Structure 1
């Protein structure tokens, strides 16, 4: 047996496994003898059929089976011995295998395409530029949040004519009639210039406006359109009013305080404002942490300059998901896949280089934190603590154990990023909520 590697490029290669008859014949003969002991063939007592007859009946299929077993084992062991990182799975040259004459050939060559990366280096030095973003919640943000809460908790009505602060329900459509969607949107989420067109209108009114008058973020924030739907909203648009929804503001009193934070959590307006600010700050702290980490990942990916075997990976993704995705799907999703794969390679490299390990206990604690957050959002946090172990166990066993592996990876990423942030001594950069929103739009 001979195994050779031809590196076609810096990240793609061809592994050839050459087999001679002596490499597989003993295993084939042993398997046929086992068949003979169990075979029940007409004209012979059970297990007494001649080996030659068994070979004629089953020889080719057994040979194919044993050769495939040998190939899988030898290829796997060979790739494990290499000092480069294999990506995806080897792709057999099917066209070459189709030319094999299994009945007459004694010697075989099998070719496998491979994709890999080697010599990953991620020096953690001052050349990596990244900030530790800190979002400062100011009084204006608190006031806006309280105003929204008062509106949400107030009594609703359906007036005949719209006013500032109302929500309009109706059909957003292209003026040429080629696309439409029924939705509700708040007038206040639009610019003052555009919003004025929707004030003082009644049911069945048709408002015309050009799509250029809608800011990019407002397609999400006001109209709630998906990326696919946004592709339709170009040129002239219309909105046909079907209903007007108005909510009178609630009163800033103890009943309101209890609705927002629970009974007797705050006892006056000053405590309420403080609690709102603390809650907002905690939420933005989480968001800024995520943003900081994503920006740091981008900086590390740029620094590492890992060249992926794009052609190989696209072919592998198509074959690995055969029937589930098209070549067009792979082409569209590849950039996101490549970014995630590159970060995974960097994370694993830094974890190994710095002896960082994700322990089972870390996985349990991170999962508990996730479950607590989910239940807290639904107002059931404190009631679920006694059943926490059951929820965690059920989640981690889900998706045939894939949830556990995903959480393990997440823990490793957390530890790697924490280590990187400490080594690079990221500079804190305080920004306002508005500045943060602009960063997200870029």
Structure 2
């Protein structure tokens, strides 16, 4: 009869030894051999009439080894199912010499497996977290900038005869030249579009009043500020930090002059920006736009608070891992994911952080009974579909939508992705309810910088 023994071999690392006797696997081996005599196709013998000795000679070793290993695997998973140790991944088989197995001499075999155990841990107390809720207040200047942006986006392009506005869009031909405007043989020649205000004030003044086909000679480094210079260098095919290229001269030939005629601030424009809001005056429009901007920043602020919560839980929740087991496990994945010992060592810090967050989030979800119902999944998918169609007119009959959602609910990947997103939202909503952050007013640029510089 098979026996299972378990012993500790390290931190959260146990060894399971399975012993099987011939009584455990021999009956199934003999049955499988008999079944082969009935189904094997061997030249010179009729089907079902192959001698058992012939089958053993041809297939015995492979069948024998397979049945022994199947018996061992069955005993292992019966043990794990009964004892339910909380383990990482799958057990790792320890080295065993299966070449010594001989079906002519059935005997007792012993196989070892290594398991990594999940740690018991206490969640860091969120009530002790010193967090900051960064608030962005929309200024009148920001509202005005957004209005101008939308007026230009929805505006009409005109073609004035002369350059007379810093907002003029210039279609120009860049021709590499000397300082006197003589084209350099083999030099760069490229057409591009540039807004007049991108040039330095001195060049803007020089271009004012110019018409189609007029030319100006300038040096790149003296014609654009640093950020715009990088952009122009890349547009012309250079590296953005190429100082030698920045000192080149170009003759600029005006091909076309454009100017966007801004949309008027009237009810038609207000209703295009905010359909169904019934905004009649510019004052109402500015108020609504300010609310929208602040709602956007409130969502960004919440994301940044959640990032702080994530890092607090990750940094302050103490737990240990069976590190060596997990590194070996990383080396035994499938062919595409398998790591070398060096890769496993290098990637382990990031891997263990991901593992730690998984255990933390699983504990929060389990302890607080955070669940996502089928109805919530359906509503979430429906909202996604509606966002996809946006403001498109779907007509009065949208009965097709329910059957479309039902089909989506049968897609396991779609359901899993929606479930993970919804349960993560619930996890962070719960976590936010446990903290009392200090509020601090910041600019949008400052909040954006925090998000860019503090990713996980």
TM-score interval w.r.t. the shorter chain? 0.7 to 0.9
Map of 1:368 onto structure 2: 382
Deviates more, 1:29-38 or 1:10-19: 10-19
Q: 2:435 aligns with which of 424, 435, 441?
A: 424
Asked if the contact 2:409–2:415 (Cα under 8 Å) also holds between the matched residues in 1, the reply is yes
* Whole-angstrom distance in 2 between the partners of 1:13 and 1:436: 47
2:114 is equivalent to residue 100 of structure 1: no
2:290 is equivalent to residue 277 of structure 1: yes
Map of 1:346 onto structure 2: 360
- Give the gaps of 5 or more residues in structure 1: 171-181, 226-231
Map of 1:405 onto structure 2: 416
Shift of 1:166: 6.5
Structure with larger Rg: 2
Map of 2:154 onto structure 1: 153
Asked if the contact 2:332–2:338 (Cα under 8 Å) also holds between the matched residues in 1, the reply is no
Map of 1:252 onto structure 2: 265
Shift of 1:346: 0.9
* Whole-angstrom distance in 1 between the partners of 2:65 and 2:33: 13
Shift of 1:356: 2.8
* Whole-angstrom distance in 2 between the partners of 1:76 and 1:198: 78
* Whole-angstrom distance in 2 between the partners of 1:325 and 1:251: 61
TM-score, structure 1 length as denominator? Answer: 0.72
* Whole-angstrom distance in 1 between the partners of 2:193 and 2:410: 40
2:452 is equivalent to residue 441 of structure 1: yes
Map of 1:138 onto structure 2: 139
Change (3 A) 1:279 1:10: same
Map of 2:307 onto structure 1: 294
Deviates more, 1:297-306 or 1:337-346: 337-346
For residues 27-46 of structure 1, the C-alpha deviation after alignment (integer angstroms, 9 at most, x for no partner) is 22222233233345455554
For residues 106-147 of structure 1, the C-alpha deviation after alignment (integer angstroms, 9 at most, x for no partner) is 454444454442103204353233344544333332222112
Change (3 A) 1:433 1:20: same
* Whole-angstrom distance in 2 between the partners of 1:441 and 1:282: 20
Map of 2:184 onto structure 1: none
Map of 2:37 onto structure 1: 36
Map of 2:175 onto structure 1: none
Asked if the contact 1:371–1:391 (Cα under 8 Å) also holds between the matched residues in 2, the reply is no
Which secondary structure does the structure 1 equivalent of 2:449 belong to? helix
* Whole-angstrom distance in 1 between the partners of 2:202 and 2:61: 79
Which secondary structure does the structure 2 equivalent of 1:323 belong to? coil
* Whole-angstrom distance in 2 between the partners of 1:67 and 1:297: 47
Deviates more, 1:381-390 or 1:353-362: 381-390
Change (3 A) 1:24 1:271: same
Shift of 1:186: 7.5
Map of 1:58 onto structure 2: 59
Aligned residues: 414
For residues 144-163 of structure 1, the C-alpha deviation after alignment (integer angstroms, 9 at most, x for no partner) is 21121112222346899797
Alignment of 1:201-240 (within 5 A): 207-208=220-221, 213-214=226-227, 236=243, 238=245
Alignment of 1:170-185 (within 5 A): none
Asked if the contact 1:124–1:420 (Cα under 8 Å) also holds between the matched residues in 2, the reply is no
Which secondary structure does the structure 1 equivalent of 2:89 belong to? strand
Change (3 A) 1:393 1:332: farther
Asked if the contact 2:65–2:98 (Cα under 8 Å) also holds between the matched residues in 1, the reply is no
RMSD of equivalent CA atoms: 4.8
Q: 1:356 aligns with which of 365, 370, 379?
A: 370
Asked if the contact 1:134–1:430 (Cα under 8 Å) also holds between the matched residues in 2, the reply is yes
* Whole-angstrom distance in 2 between the partners of 1:397 and 1:333: 36
Q: 1:388 aligns with which of 401, 416, 425?
A: 401
TM-score, structure 2 length as denominator? Answer: 0.70
Map of 1:174 onto structure 2: none
Alignment of 1:308-319 (within 5 A): 308=321, 312-313=325-326, 316-317=329-330, 319=332
Change (3 A) 1:424 1:259: closer
- Give the gaps of 5 or more residues in structure 2: 173-190, 208-214
Map of 2:23 onto structure 1: 22
* Whole-angstrom distance in 1 between the partners of 2:20 and 2:171: 72
For residues 275-334 of structure 1, the C-alpha deviation after alignment (integer angstroms, 9 at most, x for no partner) is 322332333333333332222122111121334555655654565352368769878876
Shift of 1:184: 8.1
Change (3 A) 1:36 1:77: same
Map of 2:316 onto structure 1: 303
Asked if the contact 2:377–2:418 (Cα under 8 Å) also holds between the matched residues in 1, the reply is yes
* Whole-angstrom distance in 2 between the partners of 1:24 and 1:362: 50
Which secondary structure does the structure 1 equivalent of 2:28 belong to? helix
* Whole-angstrom distance in 1 between the partners of 2:17 and 2:170: 67
